[in-house]
Structure 1
């Protein structure tokens, strides 16, 4: 909103991020810039096709809050003729620290490069003083003018959020030789099964490529007998599709190491999400346990 004011642009403000309201606004005047989350971009493209409304002319989209699938980038850019890039940040970083350039040099699937004046380190979560080599997974640590000083009235939580002056994001990432960072997953959401780490986003990306699967959420569910976490997938199917556990299991095994393949699949009508469209994994676990 402040960017729009700074540019003396027209701001279109809506009371809710509902696709109907968005499409009504787009039909009145095609916007130049649409910031949103991946599920909302997908709904806009779907609704535009359903209504027969052109969204061509939207030049820029900046996605955040959750991983942006490369196939969605292709759909959006084909429909708009513009660019859809991914950025990354947290409330504690006011909120952006990393982003893709708004040019054809952007990298679909990557959250981009550090913003100006932002310093980043990718450290071993078990030894934060050790930086991991390029291409290896580690926790993203950041410094910059937009990083907060701490939680008001919560000194212990503040101290736990920093290491030697670096803010701990709690996110696992990798960095390539050109400085582009790829988000792997939240440390707190990593599933530990049989002593191995399983990153839900990696498994979800594979499951979404299976015919008939519209969406997926992968979580760790404690096995009542072994006392360890099992990889379990909640899937949302396309209308008319049916789940074939054997077929989807074989599909997952083609791309994933054996310990990453879900042991169980549960069909849900919709994944539980918050107001921004982000999947609530705790709710997914509750729904799975209730089946």
Structure 2
């Protein structure tokens, strides 16, 4: 079925339930569906058709949700776009996906106008309040349109719903083709894993993770709309504002990212706020330091359910179960109907507690990469997705990510996994953030370097930090170099961009 069907069913079952809370205004499921159907009608009148690519270059706003589901109702393909991308990055995506229609925020229209000089869109739409430069607004289209009654016929396993661009470790963007089946399956898999913890028609989901990110899309809108939950939509994660919203609306589920949990844990006045309303807190997009997980459990009363996923898997494949054993440092168990293997460099399965590459098979695994048959063939073999991540499994079937295959550092013939070293660095009381990479060295070929961001008002004695590492790590794993920095390079979801650190060091060398 079409992913739009989730909205259709929920609006019929819970028409008066709150669908979205945004800037203290509420929208019911009946009204949300009406807006979606009207926008779909308007776009159809303008010639939009099944298979056309619609770029959604919008932050967290109700118009994002309306545009997303209107496109899916028409059988269009949503191209998820980070509004903060540079012109060069945007052009790369537009050219690759052949984006025909684009929804953009007023702030991005100037950038788009310049791109339009060399790239031709069929139509651009604005999320603004009033029309500028002959660009119609989504609100005006909705107001004047007649609701579209029929939903486009969808072949769920073949028809693409979303193209989700991912940079991977190389920085070159690839568009993961996610079908209606992939995305619907991941929602249902998540609901089965959460079980009776999540009640239809009764949850309030705090959606602060960007919706243009695959984790925000699935956990922040697709899952809540399937559940008939209220989406507490936050445009930008501003800590004190989010804390006030939590006090007012008492959300029950928070799909967050480490950057957000880190902000909670290190906020000096956090004890003045009550975070015990959450039944489930999950973390995705990057590993969550153990110290932060412990602090958040004290604050919320529930363990932070760390998990694992990829743009290529819609995204979730593993999660610590909310009503089962939650193991700190583990990504948990595979979601229902998800098969996993850990293999060596020859593709041979390794025993438990042995490190190898994680392979995944399941209904959430992408169709392939858009316009990239060679990359698709490298990633998908015999139905298995080769993740490029190094993992291990314990004797109870819980998985642990050790690091990226390409990020592993070899020191004197020994493997060093950056994530293990980072875990030790985070245990130091003065360390706010840490990143460990392998950098070029004329003598050794490669050495371990650590980049450290100190906590506010704290100074770090590098010699003392090195001693801390020697006490907790085998000697060859201890970083040879340390660099104190004010910040680390991250994307808008807080994911660490280690390749930028490596590029800096390569230029220096």
What TM bracket, shorter-length normalisation?
over 0.9
Matched, 1:218 2:436: yes
Q: CA RMSD, aligned part only?
A: 2.0
186, 190, 194: which one pairs with 2:408? Answer: 190
Higher helix share: 2
Change (3 A) 1:26 1:87: same
Distance 1:51 1:265 in 2: 33
C-alpha distance after superposition, 1:23-71 (max 9, x if no partner):
2321321210010111201213444835822222112111111112232
Q: Does 1:233 align with 2:233?
A: no
Query: Which structure 1 segments of 5+ residues have no match?
Result: none
Gaps of 5+ in 2: 1-220
CA displacement at 1:158 relative to structure 2: 0.6
Q: For residues 68-124 of structure 1, what are the alpha-carbon distances to aligned partners after superposition, in whole Å with 9 as ceiling and x for unaligned? A: 223222211211123320111111111111111012511121101111111111101
Query: In the TM superposition, what is the alpha-carbon distance from 1:186 to its structure 2 partner?
Result: 0.9
Is 2:471 aligned against 1:251?
Answer: no
Q: How does 1:128-207 map to 2 (within 5 A)?
A: 128=347, 130-207=348-425
State the shift of 1:163 in Å: 2.8
Q: 1:290 to 1:243 in 2, by over 3 A?
A: farther
Question: What are the Cα deviations for residues 198-256 of structure 1, in whole angstroms up to 9, with x where unaligned?
Answer: 11111111111123222211111112x32611111111112333332322212111221
- Partner secondary structure for residue 11 of structure 1: strand
Residue 11 of structure 1 corresponds to: 231
For 1:48 and 1:240, locate their aligned partners in 2 and report how far apart those are by CA, in whole Å. 12
TM-score (ref. length: structure 1): 0.92
Q: Distance in 2 between matches of 1:246 and 1:42?
A: 25
Q: The residue matched to 1:188 in structure 2 has which SS?
A: coil
- Aligned equivalents of 1:100, 1:240: Cα separation in 2: 35
Query: How far, CA to CA, are the matches of 1:177 and 1:284 in structure 2?
Result: 36
Q: How many residues align?
A: 288
Structure 1 runs, 4 residues or longer, greater than 6 Å off: none
- TM score, norm. by length of structure 2: 0.54
Matched, 1:100 2:327: no
Counterpart-to-counterpart distance in 2, 1:205 and 1:50 = 24
Change (3 A) 1:290 1:238: farther
Q: Give the secondary-structure state (helix, strand or coil) at the position aligned to 2:458.
A: coil
Of the three residues 273, 282, 305, the one matched with 1:53 is: 273
Aligned to 2:331: 111
Contact 1:217 1:284 in 2 (8 A): no
Match of 2:212 in 1: none
The question of whether the paired residues in 2 share the 8 Å contact of 1:59 and 1:83 is answered with no
Aligned with 1:64 (options 263, 284, 305): 284
Whether the aligned pair in 1 keeps the contact of 2:432 and 2:453 (CA below 8 Å) is: yes
**Structure 2 Cα separation of the partners of residues 212 and 94 of structure 1:** 37
Of 13, 23, 36, 2:243 maps to 23
Contact 1:273–1:280 (Cα < 8 Å) also in 2: yes
CA displacement at 1:287 relative to structure 2: 5.5
SS of the residue 2:296 aligns to: helix
Distance 1:7 1:25, change over 3 A: same
Deviation track 1:139-194 (CA, whole Å, cap 9, x = no partner) reads 11011111112112211111111233211011101101111001111111112233
Of 20, 34, 51 in structure 1, the residue corresponding to residue 254 of structure 2 is 34
Name the SS for the 1:253 alignment partner: helix
